[in-house]
Amino acid sequence: ETGVTQSPTHLIKTRGQQVTLRCSSQSGHNTVSWYQQALGQGPQFIFQYYREEENGRGNFPPRFSGLQFPNYSSELNVNALELDDSALYLCASSLRTGAYEQYFGPGTRLTVT
């Protein structure tokens, strides 16, 4: 059984640029959630996808968008990057929608300069 993987591990971008982060869910999981974790803080919920449709969203602006593919891999896209977007981005997959046990990937560390 393959765990949740994320790519890239680290990324440095310039303010105003766009970025795409990728996640491969655990085998058999049809739900993926994305979180932003600033240094010293807990993860903040960005959105959740279930069967390729957005299934809930946290308090993040529209420049944060996502996709889930038929194989349940997913992407997080962030447009017009701001310095405050610097954080660890975590994806987590689960067997069901809503709020059940989630399996997290190792994260992508994004630095915006």
Partner 1 sequence: SQQGEEDPQALSIQEGENATMNCSYKTSINNLQWYRQNSGRGLVHLILIRSNEREKHSGRLRVTLDTSKKSSSLLITASRAADTASYFCATAWNDMRFGAGTRLTVKP
The verdict on 29 binding partner 1 (CB under 8 A) reads no
Burial 64-90 (b: 16+ CB within 10 A, else e): bbbebeeebbbbbebeebeeebbbbbb
**Residues 69-88 as x/- pattern, contact with partner 1 by CB under 8 A:** -------------------x
DSSP 80: S
User: In this structure, how many other beta carbons lie within 10 angstroms of the beta carbon of residue 39?
Assistant: 7
Q: Given the rule CB under 8 A, which of 11-19, 22-30, 69-77, 98-106 is the region that contacts partner 1?
A: 98-106
Binding site for partner 1 (CB under 8 A): 4, 33, 35, 40-45, 48, 56, 58-59, 88, 90, 92, 98-107, 109
